[in-house]
Amino acid sequence: MLYGRFEHTIDAKNRMFIPAKYKEALESSFKLTFNGLEKCIMVYSNREWEKYEESLTTLPPLQFADYIREVYSNTVDVQIDSQGRVVIPQFLKEQVEIEKNVVVVGVGNHIEIWSKDVFDAKRKNINMDEIKRAMIGMGL
């Protein structure tokens, strides 16, 4: 399980360090993709990407064609360099409004890379009372 939160910066060549805690789970090569539902980059190990792909194939193609197209057209294979960095493609940076400061968050089976500003704004808008009511309604 991937969990935790780390803050990093992206250099002028679009490189950022992958937290050591995540390197083993991701191995040396993995997938980056745009999360069209939130403004972040999702990072999947190749093994977890295969599972995610399987879930995409269960979506009704007529209803979710645009989403599926966005996922596949915005997915790239990346490798960690000898310094422990990965290059974030410019087009992905732009889609999620990353400039320099990022937050890397473990969310179970993958990690997310957020612009620090976007992540901080999102966290300010979390309504824990609403989440609590929904969880109680689900019997959790």
Q: Which string of DSSP letters, residue by residue, matches 53-68?
A: HHHHHTS-HHHHHHHH
Q: Note whether 30 and 44 are within 8 A (CB).
A: yes
Dihedral (CA of 109, 110, 111, 113) sign: negative
Token pair 């990965």 is found at 86
Reported as a single tens digit per residue, the pLDDT across 4-17 is 999 999 999 999 99
Q: Which two tokens stand for residue 99?
A: 């400039």
Pick the CATH number of 2-137 from 3.30.420.40, 3.40.640.10, 3.40.50.150, 3.40.1550.20: 3.40.1550.20
Lowest pLDDT segment from 6-15, 53-62, 122-131: 122-131
Stretch 66-84: mean pLDDT: 92
**Strands, E, within the chain: which ranges?**
2-9, 15-17, 29-35, 40-45, 75-79, 85-87, 101-108, 111-115
pLDDT at position 18, please?
92
Given a cut of 80, whether residue 66 has pLDDT beyond it is yes
pLDDT at position 120, please?
93
Q: How confident is the model at residue 28 (pLDDT cuts 50, 70, 90)?
A: confident
Given a cut of 80, whether residue 97 has pLDDT beyond it is yes
Given a cut of 90, whether residue 133 has pLDDT beyond it is no
Question: What are the sequence ranges of the domains in the chain?
Answer: 2-137
Q: How far is CA 12 from CA 23, 87, 88, 96, 139, in A?
A: 22, 10, 11, 17, 48
Stretch 107-124: mean pLDDT: 93
Q: Which of 101, 80, 88 is nearest to 41 (CA)?
A: 88
| CA angle, residues 60, 66, 69, in degrees to nearest 5 | 100
Is this structure's pTM higher than 0.85? Answer: yes
- Neighbouring residues of 80: CB distance < 8 A, sequence distance ≥ 6: 18, 23, 26, 28, 29, 86
